[in-house]
Structure 1
Amino acid sequence: MTKWLRVCLTAGLFLLYLPSANGQFLKKLGKKAQKAAERTVEQRVDEEASKTTDRALDSILEPGQGGPAESPVPQGGGDDPGAVNDGSAPTTGNGGSSPNAGGAGKASGSKRLEVYSKFDFVPGDETLFYEDFGDDFIGDFPARWNTNGGGEVVTFGDDSGKWLELVSGNRTYYIPDLNDLPEDYTIEFDMEVLGVGRGTSSSATLRVILDDNGGFEKGGNNVVAYIPLVQYTPGGIRVENRINSERTISNTVKLDIRENILNRPHISIAVNGERYRMYVDENKHIDIPRMIGPGAPMTHVKFQLDGVQDGKEKVFISNIKVAKGGEDLRRKLLAEGSISTNAILFDSGSANLQPTSMGVIRQISQVLQQEGGMSLQIVGHTDSDGDADANIDLSQARAESVKKALVDIYGIDAGRLSTLGKGESEPVAENSSPDGKAQNRRVEFIKQ
């Protein structure tokens, strides 16, 4: 607080709260006693005014500094406010997720979908790696990852499934078992933070690294995006790269994503040759056409957490998906008459669309708006988890949800759209792995 503001508050509050009787009393005191009493009152008023005004200024200048208002409350762990479920607290089903989860996200609702109506991120259509930690035990490090530090699979007391808790360290890496990335691909994941607030360091970041080295160090060709966790000031996303061991880009894009960070953000990255784009929730913040060197493709994805306070500030990731492609589905639908995509996601065990699915649905609407005589059949598919008859009903309901979004949000005539649910009857991959299940949970659009 500035000195002049504190002095003004002191004087104002002193005059406001000093009763007239006390004023008369002070007048009767000797000059020395009067000054001593005034100093005492002034000191107390100043202390209280300082505390009150600091809190007021914090609420104005540092919104959200108190931490997420609706963060999931971890279960287990005794009195530790940052403790997570260690397996002793009850969970639902497979770590809190239900059949055909398709990923867990924020509440969907029509209002949320409308916010994403201009979202233009389109995930790849061939899943290379999908991880919701559904096959891992709580408390273990996940089987399909590597690290040179720590970390464990945890769950919260909600329906968000399982998460990997990261350990902070600027030399600690988390590397999924994924090699040889193609030229065009997309990366998506959800992140959860607990304990961040006014005291969180400006150096606290979750780093997403694309690298040509699969080990615990950066190679000669890499791209790093630093997602800020700081709350007392807008952090901005820092991006760096190296091409043949030479840094060509190092910049911080100024923006304010503090509210997003506190509300389980969905991060989306699209790589098309040399071009690199990053989205936080529905907004695209990074779009660099020459981020990746020509002839120097990345081969590995890595995560790194640094700058957080051990035991107080926690970061988790889940629903990590890497997919080949990210092509323009509009051209494919027009050229081939049908497309199949597993990039349309729903809330766990339900037909509620996740907002990040709107990038694909928006492209479908653009085709229908351009081709006024075209009609489409929307076909829903699930994996084999759960009852077969229930999956038929679920896939039908999900197809109906896609139709409703096209009609309600993009104004497509409902008469041009029909729906069909096929459940688990037509798998395109084995249902024995998270990757295969993710491919089987899909939606088809077929020209009629």
Structure 2
Amino acid sequence: MIRHSLFFIIGLCPLATVSHAQVQVYDPKRAAERNVEYRVNNKVDQGINRGLDKVEEGIGNIFKKKNKKAQDTKPADDAYTDQQPADGNAGSVSGSSSAGSADNAARPSGAKTNEPVPLKAYSKFDFVPGDKIVAAEDFEQDAVGDFPAKWNTNGSAEVVTIGGKPGKWLMVRKTESTSFIPDFVKDLPDNFTLEYDLVYSGFDKDYAYAQRLYTTVHETKKNDDRITHQAAGRGATFLINGGMGSGNAELLQTNEEGGYTDLRGERDMALAINPDNNGKVFHMALWRQKQRLRVYVDEVKVFDLPRIFPADVKLNAMRFHSDMSEDRNQFFISNIRLAVGAPDTRSKLMTEGKFSTTGILFDVNSDKIRPESYGVLKDIAGTLTENAGVRVRIVGHTDSDGDDAKNLDLSKRRAASVRAALASEFGIDAGRLETDGKGETQPAAPNTSPEGKANNRRVEFIKL
């Protein structure tokens, strides 16, 4: 399932402080090649021997466990908490960073650890994902330790698992002008949304010169053209930069040569991109509507440039690109989701009698709605409010992973959660809402690919 959340409004509200804890990166296949990291791992198990030499200190900086007090100086605005226990795996490589999980959610000021996060924490979140998922990547088909089979690169990265976080992640470490290209992304039409989860680790203001990750959508003749560039043609690139404590972000227009034009936005994000937030799971979303591009980090709209794409541009590729000067600096990427088409809730529900969405997200194997679903729920609630006489049946669906009976029960409970949210958060009369669940029995697509499974994890609204 698609998971979660990425950053902040810098300068308007302070980011949460979080306590630091170990994050373990499990990679049995290549454990024998990592003697240095094994030594660091052993040191962690012994409470971190301060006598490690400077080289190991550099590599192992992310493994330090900092004791942050509850009365930290920055007031909490968003905080995160682990909801998944670390799996026990032989040959683990330990790292440290702030406690975080791909199932984490933004937490309002004053919330206690493990307290449920209310949907209204995302009350200003207006992001609505596209209605059909055309590309999805969670690396489940790839072996731990391998570079993913459906990707291309001029450098190296590998699939790993992270203790305390579900699923698999693409780990990117020390790089110089390196691109990571999902070859299965072939077309980016006038209306699309792109989401993914991000963790960064090992950020240290004292040493690292380069700590940069670019997300680029562009037009190109071949996906691997100018593979050492952030882009290979016209488009846009979103940059986060933590090098030497800079902590800023930029959204830039790219030209035919893969360089930058004068059209760009920049903002300070030093309160978010800093060592205190190592290990957090952030959720990023890009939303294109013709020439316009919005970028969201967690519940906050970070950029909104109405003319960043030329009117005649034909976007047909995307890439992640990184520059990192130290091995201790790491980016982890997962749960990538590209969806196309602008949802038309009102027309489909009122005219066609049915509206289906993959944009209502839940915790793994749970009926708990993720707060980043707020934009979709608000859109549905608006339609129901404008048509006060309409009654609907809410139907939950799952993919085919897991037990049939459990999937059926889960789909019913998820439909009930949506009904409760519409009633409690948006004031929709619960008497207008029936619920049902079909489990995996009515797939919208074959359950043979990440895209198919993602399209099957959906909620339907049927006009009665």
Partner of 2:254: 242
Q: Structure 2: how far apart are the matches of 1:342 and 1:203?
A: 37
* Pair 393,125 (structure 1): closer, same or farther in 2 beyond 3 Å: same
Tell me, yes or no, if structure 1 residue 358 matches structure 2 residue 367. Answer: no
Tell me, yes or no, if structure 1 residue 270 matches structure 2 residue 283. Answer: no
CA contact (8 A) 2:147 2:159 kept: yes
Partner of 2:305: 288
Q: Structure 2: how far apart are the matches of 1:112 and 1:257?
A: 22
Q: How many residues align?
A: 373
Letter in 2 for 1:88: A
Partner of 1:426: 442
Q: Structure 2: how far apart are the matches of 1:401 and 1:89?
A: 40
Letter in 2 for 1:251: G
Q: Structure 2: how far apart are the matches of 1:408 and 1:196?
A: 41
Out of 375, 398, 405, the residue aligned to residue 421 of structure 2 is 405
Out of 202, 216, 230, the residue aligned to residue 195 of structure 1 is 202
Q: Secondary structure at the match of 2:378?
A: helix
Q: For residues 122-160 of structure 1, what are the alpha-carbon distances to aligned partners after superposition, in whole Å with 9 as ceiling and x for unaligned?
A: 111111110111111111111111111100000012242
RMSD between superposed Cα atoms in Å: 2.9
Q: Structure 1: how far apart are the matches of 2:181 and 2:163?
A: 27
Moved more, 254-263 or 221-230: 254-263
Structure with higher Rg: it is 1
CA contact (8 A) 2:173 2:328 kept: no
CA contact (8 A) 1:332 1:339 kept: yes
CA contact (8 A) 1:343 1:442 kept: yes
Letter in 2 for 1:106: N
Please list, as runs of the form range in 1=range in 2, the aligned pairs for 1:34-433 lying within 5 A after superposition.
69-70=20-21, 72-75=23-26, 77-78=37-38, 79-80=40-41, 81=60, 88=90, 104-107=102-105, 110-176=116-182, 177-199=184-206, 201=208, 203-213=210-220, 214-215=223-224, 216=227, 217=229, 218-229=231-242, 232=245, 235-245=247-257, 247-255=261-269, 256-258=271-273, 263-306=280-323, 308-433=324-449
Moved more, 280-289 or 114-123: 114-123
Q: Secondary structure at the match of 2:23?
A: coil
Letter in 2 for 1:294: A
CA contact (8 A) 2:345 2:383 kept: no
Unaligned runs of 5+ in 1: 1-62, 91-102
* Pair 131,378 (structure 1): closer, same or farther in 2 beyond 3 Å: same
Letter in 1 for 2:90: S
Aligned-residue offset at 1:366 = 1.2
Letter in 2 for 1:212: E
* Pair 287,219 (structure 1): closer, same or farther in 2 beyond 3 Å: same
Moved over 6 A (4+): 63-68, 83-87
* Pair 360,202 (structure 1): closer, same or farther in 2 beyond 3 Å: farther
Q: For residues 185-228 of structure 1, what are the alpha-carbon distances to aligned partners after superposition, in whole Å with 9 as ceiling and x for unaligned?
A: 11000001111133365752211011212111433312111023
Partner of 1:45: none
* Pair 427,65 (structure 1): closer, same or farther in 2 beyond 3 Å: closer
Aligned-residue offset at 1:112 = 4.2
Q: Structure 2: how far apart are the matches of 1:261 and 1:404?
A: 35
* Pair 70,121 (structure 1): closer, same or farther in 2 beyond 3 Å: farther
- Percent identity, aligned pairs only, is 38
Aligned-residue offset at 1:436 = 0.9
Q: For residues 354-404 of structure 1, what are the alpha-carbon distances to aligned partners after superposition, in whole Å with 9 as ceiling and x for unaligned?
A: 222121111111112222222221110011111111110010111111112
* Pair 202,362 (structure 1): closer, same or farther in 2 beyond 3 Å: farther
Moved more, 273-282 or 216-225: 216-225
Q: Structure 1: how far apart are the matches of 2:297 and 2:250?
A: 14
* Pair 388,305 (structure 1): closer, same or farther in 2 beyond 3 Å: same
Aligned-residue offset at 1:161 = 1.0
Q: Structure 2: how far apart are the matches of 1:163 and 1:371?
A: 43
* Pair 440,237 (structure 1): closer, same or farther in 2 beyond 3 Å: same
Q: For residues 57-114 of structure 1, what are the alpha-carbon distances to aligned partners after superposition, in whole Å with 9 as ceiling and x for unaligned?
A: xxxxxx9999862563435752244589996358xxxxxxxxxxxx943148653422
Q: Structure 2: how far apart are the matches of 1:377 and 1:65?
A: 39
CA contact (8 A) 2:358 2:454 kept: yes
Q: Structure 2: how far apart are the matches of 1:263 and 1:231?
A: 19
CA contact (8 A) 1:243 1:292 kept: no
Letter in 2 for 1:264: V
* Pair 266,71 (structure 1): closer, same or farther in 2 beyond 3 Å: farther
Q: Give the TM-score normalised by structure 1.
A: 0.76
CA contact (8 A) 1:67 1:195 kept: no
* Pair 315,257 (structure 1): closer, same or farther in 2 beyond 3 Å: same
Letter in 1 for 2:392: L
Q: Secondary structure at the match of 1:172?
A: strand
Q: Structure 2: how far apart are the matches of 1:152 and 1:351?
A: 32
Unaligned runs of 5+ in 2: 1-13, 28-36, 42-59, 64-85, 93-100, 107-114
Q: Structure 2: how far apart are the matches of 1:395 and 1:66?
A: 35
Partner of 1:30: none
* Pair 248,328 (structure 1): closer, same or farther in 2 beyond 3 Å: farther
Q: Structure 2: how far apart are the matches of 1:187 and 1:408?
A: 29
Higher strand share: 2
Higher helix share: 1
Moved more, 361-370 or 244-253: 244-253
Partner of 1:439: 455
CA contact (8 A) 1:65 1:231 kept: no
Q: Structure 2: how far apart are the matches of 1:65 and 1:309?
A: 27
CA contact (8 A) 1:104 1:347 kept: no
CA contact (8 A) 1:403 1:414 kept: yes
